[in-house]
Amino acid sequence: MEVKHTLEFTPDLHKKYLLFVLNGKLPNISSMETNRSVLMYFALSGLDLLNQLDSLTEQRKQYIIDWIYSLQVVNEKELVSGFQGSTTLITKENQGKNSPYKWAHIANTYSCLNSLIILGDNLSRVNRKAILNSLRALQLPNGSFKGAKDGVEDDMRFVFCAACICYILDDWSAIDVELMVNFILKSISYDGGIGQGPELESHCGSTFCAIACLALSKNLHRLTKAQFHALRRWLLLRFDYGFNGRPNKPVDTCYSFWTGGALKILDAYQFIHDNKNNPLYVLMTQDKYGGFSKWVNTVPDPMHTYFGLAGLSLMNFGGLNKMFCELNVSRRAHEHLKRVQEKWK
């Protein structure tokens, strides 16, 4: 595909779109109500990359921080501690106490912790012990993790969330890291990519999650030389005029981060780097009112808006803040986390 014109990056419109997401004003996302904390994370991290967190007043930031803490579940008896996705299951009758189905989910816990970091919170109200105890209960005998205590699947996405939670809380004692690493290594496919689990199709989303886990846990060296080079080659082949997630699939805005981020961690991004052409596909998915979509001429959504900005950040485009890919936050947010962790020692 040849694009002969340049497209203007519109950061002010993207800021406006993300503020709409943060304020819950976008239509047609009611199905995401129980995952409102994930939408919040996309909006906050997107604003961070745009260097626009100051568009939120200190009072507004504190309100969001307090709202996040209202989602924290501490239930050592049932081992379902962490963060919920929204206040949906916090009723007048069960407010301030535990009740059936008032459980944390590993993805929401990850999103809430990241959002607190982005907002500059010191994590002093996070019940680290309870979260880590419940995280231990989510690891399966094969090393993978399920998303919650019951009724959910298990795959590489939740392995990534578990590794990030341990990294943020600066404590890996709650999980069997060796078992986790073995699960990742067994999920490497014949073509060099990594699937959601052993013998499953290679996918850039699961590949990023696996590589980030190895990096966060200081286990990247566990890849053999052959695996390392095959993995980089498979990821590099996902670039055409944009990034796709699997062979013979169309390019998609979000893979500018999932694929690009994995290449960054493996120190191979420079092999596709082209300042002139790389950003074009992502820019083509901009909506005229703000936000990015999955494909050209489709409706924007919060996830693709955030990952579009994250992908452009990896391309050093538009003056965006730099990414700390392994945790999927800005380097600025990661530096704040390290300062917080220093005070725990």
Question: CA 285, CA 307: separation in Å to the nearest integer?
Answer: 12
pLDDT computed for residue 259 by the predictor? 97
pLDDT computed for residue 150 by the predictor? 87
Domain boundary assignment for the chain: 32-138, 238-345
- The pLDDT-based confidence of 240 (bands split at 50, 70, 90) is confident
Is the distance from CB of 154 to CB of 147 less than 8 angstroms? yes
Question: CA 202, CA 191: separation in Å to the nearest integer?
Answer: 8
Question: CA 294, CA 303: separation in Å to the nearest integer?
Answer: 9
What's the average model confidence in pLDDT over 136-164? 95
Is the predicted pLDDT of residue 168 greater than 80, yes or no?
A: yes
Is the distance from CB of 112 to CB of 169 less than 8 angstroms? no
Per residue in 252-301, pLDDT (tens digit) is 999 999 999 999 999 999 998 666 678 999 999 999 999 999 999 899 99
Per residue in 196-234, pLDDT (tens digit) is 999 999 999 999 999 999 999 999 999 999 999 999 999
Question: What is the phi/psi pair of residue 155, to 5°?
Answer: -170, -170
Query: pTM value?
Result: 0.95
Residue keyed to tokens 């504190």 = 62
Is the predicted pLDDT of residue 1 greater than 50, yes or no?
A: no
What's the average model confidence in pLDDT over 115-122? 98
pLDDT over 70 for what percent of the chain?
Answer: 96
pLDDT computed for residue 2 by the predictor? 44
Distance of CA 235 to the CA centre of its chain: 19
Is the distance from CB of 256 to CB of 311 less than 8 angstroms? yes
Is the predicted pLDDT of residue 102 greater than 90, yes or no?
A: no
What's the average model confidence in pLDDT over 83-109? 84
pLDDT computed for residue 296 by the predictor? 92
- Mean pLDDT score of the chain: 93
Is the predicted pLDDT of residue 25 greater than 80, yes or no?
A: no
Give the closest residue to 112 by CA, choosing from 329, 343, 325: 329
Per residue in 300-337, pLDDT (tens digit) is 999 999 999 999 999 999 899 999 999 999 999 999 99
What's the average model confidence in pLDDT over 83-105? 82
